[in-house]
Chains A and B, each alone.
Chain A
Amino acid sequence: MKLHEYQSKRLFSEYGIPIPGGDVASTAAEAVDIASRIGGNVVVKAQVLVGGRGKAGGVKIAEDHIAAGSYADEILGMEISGLTVRKVLIDQAVGIDTEIYLGITNDRLEKRPVIMASASGGIDIEEVAADTPEMIVREHIHPFLGLKSYQMRNMAVSIKLPEHLWKQFNSICQSLYSVYKASDATLAEINPLVVTSEGDLLAVDGKMVLDENALGRQGDLEQLRDSDLETVEENEARRYGLSYVALDGDIGCMVNGAGLAMGTMDIIKYFGGEPANFLDIGGGATAEKVSAALRIILKDGGVKVLLINIFGGITRCDEVAKGVVHAIEEVGVDIPMVVRLVGTNEEEGRELLASAKLATASSLADAAQKAIALAA
């Protein structure tokens, strides 16, 4: 789950990382109030969960509160990469001497977190990573030892940070790892971490991504979710514990297991069809979940045919069949369906579906080809 800049920075601040004074506004009037409270130059920043907002005109420097209000008016409602800007952050503008990159993420290969720093911070960090990876220094963090002071010194020396800033840098790195660990984050990033013209370190921008699997123990953090990032259907699916991703095609897919769901999309495409969605009902799905899954798929008006591919293991085919029957009774399915049930309790599942009007398939290739023919 991605957090907005203002949400990430508030969390950073709770853990002792210095951030610019500022607040978030949903209207131009609120922006004026905040800017006049801060006084002097402020930065007006679109709060939207995609990169490249600066280049899209979503970040402006205002010399006073009046200008802040008109920039806020301009930016609020703006569309950036398909997402509408609903909030702007009004931050005190600071004189910037140097821009550093500092971030923590999980390294899949090393199977532990890695903290990264670069003297070339700022908006072009991705190009830096691609073109001059040696400009980014890394230290892996042992889950039991935590981040040690020598690792911070290694980074500080590599990015040529002046010695008088090491103590501050050490404290910011430590706080960043604390908030990363405590929030079950998979990314915590300060970019840029600036050396101000007064010679202090300040986290001017922030970004966090939280582990979906850990939100259950994170209390209030789940409330920070921005539902704009999901379609209504994706949101409903998540509430039922289903994974749904909308795509552009006309063959609706309901599958158990992420790998098989991707494999089913791949085979539809291989035979010349277009999948309308990715949908994994998960392991051990109940009839209620299956029926919700069908409702969600059918909300997409572009779906011309439904392909149900279930290979039962922990999922039982009879439970899936019950859900399908229930959905047919409840919402009425008026498009053709191709159903393939194999594995745990497949006989019981097939019996339950015997009365329903649908095409059955003997193999995955057969199912895909039948669905494509029906969609044509």
Chain B
Amino acid sequence: MSILVDASTKVMVQGITGREGLFHTQQMLDYGTLIVAGVTPGKGGDIIADKIPVYDTCKAALAENPIDCSVIYVPAAFAADAILEAAEAGVPLVICITEGIPVSDMMEVRAHLDNTECRLIGPNCPGVLSPGETKIGIIPGHIAEKGDVGVVSRSGTLTYEVLYALSQKGLGSSTCVGIGGDPINGTNFIDVLDLFQKDRETKKIVMIGEIGGSDEELAADYISKFVDKPVVSFIAGQTAPPGKRMGHAGAIVEGGSGMASDKIQALMSAGALIANHPEEIPELLASKS
């Protein structure tokens, strides 16, 4: 059993005819992901990869196909609109890969989605991978094996590093969820920790955090109260200078908050094991068997 998505999840791709959308649609198909429809305004009627119908709108796609999940590759200026379009069309799970969405757009999206049943993952995230079942997003599928470690991460490529390190030591994951690096996102650490805690197949949890905000501290509090599965964590940005934005909008130490040391302290107090670098994670997991 995996969380959020599995082999039967029917996927729609928004921005399917764009450079990234097209490339990653092919990668997902190669992995075995069940893609049933694509959306690009103005390209309705096209067929992608000999079988996937393209629609002008989400509404049109949903009218002809049952859809469990939509994955978004549209450019940042149009991404918030795409999220809302999918949610309004009735898609229960939306995964937004797009990076660089203005924060005010995301606050509006969140304020609206809080009143709907739609779950958003991301934006600025690598998506969700349930090894051996489905991959929705951009995580390279071949680097991860099926197993019993649940992985949740605020980072993209750092997540791949961790999945790869696990595979190198013969460990696999139940599901890997990239929640994204933006200050305002959909699903947070606590939501995913809760799903992993309840999932029978997940025996251990890896949590990858980074500087900025206080989501890791809140997650630590949640772990100490509600999670009895072993948690191993790595926090990126221990050497980042304060006041400098490290790449994406969320990763900045400002006004004395968001520091890696505070997050590490909180997680250690909650009983999590802290890795000094990503490749230490497998041995720390092994020590908790």
Size of B's binding interface in residues, CB under 8 A: 65
Q: Which of A213, A280, A312, A343 contacts B249 (CB 8 A)?
A: A213
- Per-residue CB contact flags for chain B residues 110-135 toward chain A (1 = under 8 Å, else 0) read 11100000000000001000000000
The distance in angstroms between the C-alpha atoms of A369 and B77, with both chains bound, is: 41
Asked if B277 is at the interface (CB within 8 A of a chain A CB), the reply is: yes
Q: Residues of B contacting A364 with CB < 8 Å? A: 161, 165, 277-279
| Contacting pair B104 A343 (CB below 8 A) | no
Instruction: Point out which of B76, B108, B157, B279 has the most chain A C-beta atoms below 10 A from its C-beta.
Output: B157
The A246-274 residues at the B interface (CB cut-off 8 A) are 247, 255-263, 265-267, 269-270
The distance in angstroms between the C-alpha atoms of A27 and B168, with both chains bound, is: 64
Stretch in contact with the other chain, from B57-65, B230-238, B265-273: B230-238
Asked if B99 is at the interface (CB within 8 A of a chain A CB), the reply is: yes
Asked if B14 is at the interface (CB within 8 A of a chain A CB), the reply is: no
Determine chain A's interface SS by DSSP, over half rule: mixed
Q: Which of B103, B110, B218, B234 contacts A213 (CB 8 A)?
A: B103
When C-beta atoms are compared, the residue in chain A nearest to B258 turns out to be A108
Q: How far is the CB of B270 from chain A (nearest CB, A)?
A: 18
| Contacting pair B102 A257 (CB below 8 A) | no
Asked if B51 is at the interface (CB within 8 A of a chain A CB), the reply is: no
Asked if A217 is at the interface (CB within 8 A of a chain B CB), the reply is: yes
Size of A's binding interface in residues, CB under 8 A: 53
6 cross-chain pairs, A with B, having the tightest CB-CB distances, nearest first:
A259-B155, A258-B247, A257-B157, A259-B158, A214-B102, A260-B157
Q: What are 5 A-B contacts defined by CB distance under 8 Å? A: A212-B249, A245-B241, A266-B239, A267-B278, A363-B168
Q: A211-B102, A270-B277 are in contact. List 20 more A-B contacts (CB 8 A).
A: A108-B184, A111-B107, A111-B184, A112-B107, A142-B111, A184-B102, A211-B104, A214-B102, A214-B105, A255-B157, A262-B236, A263-B155, A263-B158, A263-B234, A266-B238, A278-B240, A314-B20, A363-B165, A364-B277, A365-B277
Give B residues with C-beta under 8 Å from A. Answer: 19-20, 24, 27, 76-77, 97, 99-108, 110-112, 126, 138-140, 143, 153-161, 164-165, 168, 181, 183-184, 208, 210-211, 213-214, 218, 234, 236-241, 244-249, 251, 255, 276-279
